[in-house]
Amino acid sequence: MMKRNLMVIGLAALLSACGFQLRGTGDTHFALTELDVSARNAYGETVKQVRLVLENNKVKVYGSAPYHLILTREDSRQRTASYTSNSRSAEIELTNTLDYEIRGANNLLLLQNQLEVQSIYNQDQNNITGSGQEAVQLAQEMRRNLVQKLAQNLQMVTPQQLEQLQQTAQAKAKADADALAAARKAERDLPQQSPIQIPTE
**Confidence tier at 101 by pLDDT (50, 70, 90):** very high
Rounded distance between C-alpha atoms, residue 143 and residue 116, angstroms: 10
> If you average pLDDT over residues 15-42, what whole number do you get?
68
Query: Distance (Å, rounded) from C-alpha 147 to C-alpha 53?
Result: 8
Q: Say whether pLDDT at 16 is over 60.
A: no
The sheet that has 34-39: what strands, in order across it? 60-61, 34-39, 68-83, 89-103, 109-124
Structural domain boundaries in the chain: 23-160
Q: What is the pLDDT of residue 116?
A: 96
Q: pTM for this structure?
A: 0.73
What's the pLDDT score for residue 92? Answer: 80
What is the tally of helices (H) and strands (E) in the chain? Answer: 4, 5
Q: DSSP string covering 114-126, please?
A: EEEEEEEEEEETT
Identify whether the C-beta of residue 105 lies closer than 8 Å to the C-beta of residue 118: no
C-alpha closest to that of 158 among 86, 67, 82 = 67
Residue 10 has pLDDT above 60, yes or no: no
Q: Is the pLDDT of residue 95 over 70?
A: yes
Task: Compare 12 and 156 and report the one with higher pLDDT.
Answer: 156
pLDDT number for residue 125: 63
Give 161-170 pLDDT, tens digit per residue.
999 999 999 9
Residue 90 has pLDDT above 90, yes or no: no
Residue 195 has what pLDDT?
60
Q: What is the pLDDT of residues 169-179, one digit of tens each?
A: 999 999 999 99
CATH number of 23-160: 3.30.160.150
Give dist(CA 55, CA 163) in Å, integer: 22
Q: Which residue has the higher pLDDT, 187 or 128?
A: 187
Give the best-scoring range by mean pLDDT among 42-56, 73-87, 134-148. 42-56
Coil, helix or strand at residue 72:
strand
Q: Which residues pair with 37 in a beta bridge?
A: 69
Is 147 exposed, middle or buried, given 0-12, 13-18 or 19+ CB atoms closer than 10 A? buried
Write down the pLDDT at residue 183: 87
3-state helix, strand, coil in the chain (%, to 5): 45, 25, 30
